[in-house]
């Protein structure tokens, strides 16, 4: 294993680290005489009530520190690299990869393809297992890290090699057996590509995946995302309304079967399928506790439930207001419906829902998480906006105050001449943002980057 330098970037006030006189720039060498590979080693070893730390100070002096503490109590230090290791890049060249469909000229971090199993536990990312070694699987089993989110795409090994353009992609499926035998909880996703892994191939994949239930708690089926930047890429086709209805019928048959066998619906269609099909969203109990919200499964149903609950707790009154709620084409009709319910109870509050077309990536991209600042400015600047403009938190990138195209919230606010309020994902927060302007504070919230590809997932 290559030598890693775990450099401390910050020591929290009042922490054990401060008592030990640790400082930014110090290097953690080992815990209990064991070398730290990454953050999971660190967290596991720090669970003990007695630990011995080996720390290299900034002047090169090495300190050995004995610490007695509460079980699971942390040192209160942060490291320059939160993962305490290099991020692993994706070794696949998936024919549906969203990052390959990004326009040129954006910041470099947006083109980074990760396929790191550790981010599956820390951030909920989906991984393909293709760059995981036996050592990686051993550590997951040893630390009992779960759930792990896996991008299956297909259970046909030969087809998986073609879809991921990786000759080891089919063999990687055997790692699922080891996780299953060790009792590791999993969730899965299938990015569906028309004429490739749908139809009979989807039926085969669901049949194979069902044998891992209930340790494999859920499988989401999401349609491939297609931008306008596909020159030179595999000629993927968009799904039609009839395609969507066939996919839903296929999934519902499996839901009935798995409900009888295991008491769970197991496989779920993302919200996009129902909207494309022109059908009502499933009832709440179909989602088995919303295991895959970040993959766009049940998000709109949950939002409706939360909006109604928040309204039940309020007494309607004569307060006045006028706000604009901007969103993507996918959620637009549903947010319009929820806004009407709020207005019925508060008739003097005007709520305008503006559906933003995605000119930046192409209008086939309908999720709000991929709307850019420039599209917002272009489409809202000549519109009556009221006092405030409300935006969902998943439009922002990595907890920053900027959109994917680097337009910042202050720049958007200046261009529109209105206060911008970033709304958290819950229905209660949406109601509060509309009705309580003095109490509702703008938020900066990290949301997993929308990626209907092999490495990432995101909100609709």
> In a structure prediction context, what are the per-residue pLDDT tens digits for the chain, which is 460 residues long?
445 688 899 999 999 999 999 999 999 999 998 888 877 788 888 888 899 999 999 889 999 999 998 887 888 888 887 666 666 667 788 998 888 888 887 777 665 666 545 554 455 578 888 888 898 889 889 888 888 899 999 999 999 999 999 999 999 999 999 999 999 999 999 999 999 999 999 999 999 999 999 999 999 999 999 999 998 999 999 999 999 999 999 999 999 999 999 999 999 999 999 999 999 999 999 999 999 988 889 999 999 999 999 999 999 999 999 999 999 999 999 999 999 999 999 999 999 999 999 999 999 999 998 999 999 999 999 899 999 999 998 898 666 788 988 899 999 999 999 999 999 889 999 999 999 865 545 444 333 323 333 333 333 3
Give me the pLDDT at residue 217, please. Answer: 97
Coil vs helix vs strand at 321: strand
- Same structural domain for residues 283 and 352? no
Give me the pLDDT at residue 452, please. Answer: 33
**Other beta carbons less than 10 A from residue 88's beta carbon:** 18
Say how far apart CA 439 and CA 451 lie, in whole Å.
33
Give me the pLDDT at residue 456, please. Answer: 33
Q: How many domains does the chain have?
A: 3
Task: With respect to residue 388, please indicate whether it lies within any of the assigned structural domains.
Answer: yes
C-alpha angle 252-306-246 in degrees, rounded to nearest 5: 20
Give me the pLDDT at residue 458, please. Answer: 33
Say how far apart CA 387 and CA 367 lie, in whole Å.
25
Give me the pLDDT at residue 256, please. Answer: 97
Say how far apart CA 185 and CA 271 lie, in whole Å.
24
End-of-domain residue from the set 295, 317, 344: 295
- Same structural domain for residues 279 and 356? no
End-of-domain residue from the set 272, 295, 318: 295
- Same structural domain for residues 25 and 103? no
Give me the pLDDT at residue 182, please. Answer: 96
Task: With respect to residue 444, please indicate whether it lies within any of the assigned structural domains.
Answer: no
- Same structural domain for residues 323 and 342? yes
- Same structural domain for residues 343 and 286? no
Give me the pLDDT at residue 449, please. Answer: 28
Task: With respect to residue 264, please indicate whether it lies within any of the assigned structural domains.
Answer: yes
- Same structural domain for residues 113 and 226? yes
End-of-domain residue from the set 270, 295, 320: 295
Say how far apart CA 252 and CA 244 lie, in whole Å.
12
CATH number at residue 420: 3.40.50
Task: With respect to residue 243, please indicate whether it lies within any of the assigned structural domains.
Answer: yes
List strands edge to edge, sheet with 148-151.
Answer: 148-151, 186-192, 216-223, 267-269
- Same structural domain for residues 130 and 224? yes
Give me the pLDDT at residue 35, please. Answer: 84
- Same structural domain for residues 104 and 225? yes
- Same structural domain for residues 107 and 57? no
- Same structural domain for residues 195 and 248? yes
Containing structural domain, residue 399 = 303-435
Coil vs helix vs strand at 416: helix
CB distance 272 to 296 below 8 Å: yes
Task: With respect to residue 260, please indicate whether it lies within any of the assigned structural domains.
Answer: yes
Task: With respect to residue 308, please indicate whether it lies within any of the assigned structural domains.
Answer: yes
Task: With respect to residue 10, please indicate whether it lies within any of the assigned structural domains.
Answer: yes
- Same structural domain for residues 278 and 319? no
- Longest Cα–Cα distance in the chain: 69
- Same structural domain for residues 276 and 398? no
């Amino acid at each position: 294993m290559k030598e890693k330098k775990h450099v401390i970037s910050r020591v929290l006030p009042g922490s054990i680290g401060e008592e030990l006189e640790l400082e930014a720039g110090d290097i953690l060498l080992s815990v209990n005489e064991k070398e730290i590979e990454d953050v999971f080693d660190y967290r596991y070893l720090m669970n003990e009530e007695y630990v011995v730390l080996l720390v290299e100070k900034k002047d090169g002096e090495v300190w050995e520190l004995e610490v007695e503490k509460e079980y699971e109590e942390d040192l209160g230090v942060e490291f320059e690299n939160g993962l305490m290791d290099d991020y692993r890049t994706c070794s696949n060249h998936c024919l549906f990869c969203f990052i390959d469909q990004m326009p040129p000229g954006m910041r470099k971090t947006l083109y980074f393809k990760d396929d790191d199993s550790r981010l599956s536990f820390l951030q909920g990312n989906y991984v393909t297992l293709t760059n995981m070694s036996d050592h990686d699987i051993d550590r997951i089993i040893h630390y009992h890290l779960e759930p792990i989110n896996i991008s299956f795409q297909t259970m046909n090994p030969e087809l998986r090699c073609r879809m991921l353009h990786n000759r080891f992609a089919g063999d990687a499926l055997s790692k699922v057996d080891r996780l299953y035998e060790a009792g590791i909880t999993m969730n899965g996703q299938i990015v569906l590509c028309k004429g490739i892994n749908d139809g009979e191939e989807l039926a085969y994949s669901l049949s194979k995946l069902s044998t891992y239930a209930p340790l494999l708690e859920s499988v989401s089926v999401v349609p491939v995302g297609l931008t306008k930047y596909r020159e030179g890429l595999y000629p993927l086709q968009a799904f039609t309304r009839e395609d969507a209805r066939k996919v839903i019928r296929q999934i519902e048959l499996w839901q009935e079967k798995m409900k009888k066998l295991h008491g769970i619906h197991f496989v779920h269609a993302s919200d996009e399928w129902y909207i494309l099909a022109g059908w009502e969203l499933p009832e709440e109990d179909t989602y088995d506790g919303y295991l895959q919200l970040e993959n766009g499964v049940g998000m709109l149903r949950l939002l409706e439930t939360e909006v109604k609950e928040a309204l039940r707790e309020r007494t309607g009154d004569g307060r006045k207001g006028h706000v604009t709620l901007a969103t993507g084409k996918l959620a637009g009709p549903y947010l319009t419906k929820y806004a009407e319910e709020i207005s019925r109870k508060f008739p003097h509050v005007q709520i305008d829902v503006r559906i933003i077309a995605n000119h930046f990536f192409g209008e086939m991209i309908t999720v709000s998480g991929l709307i850019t600042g420039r599209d917002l400015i272009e489409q809202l600047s000549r519109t009556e906006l009221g006092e405030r403009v409300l935006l969902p938190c998943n439009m922002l990138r990595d907890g920053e105050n900027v959109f994917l195209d680097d337009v910042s919230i202050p720049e958007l606010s200046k261009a529109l001449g209105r206060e911008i309020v970033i709304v958290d994902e819950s229905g209660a927060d949406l109601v509060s943002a509309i009705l309580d302007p003095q109490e509702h504070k703008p938020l900066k919230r990290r949301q997993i980057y929308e990626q209907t590809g092999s490495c990432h997932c995101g909100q609709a």
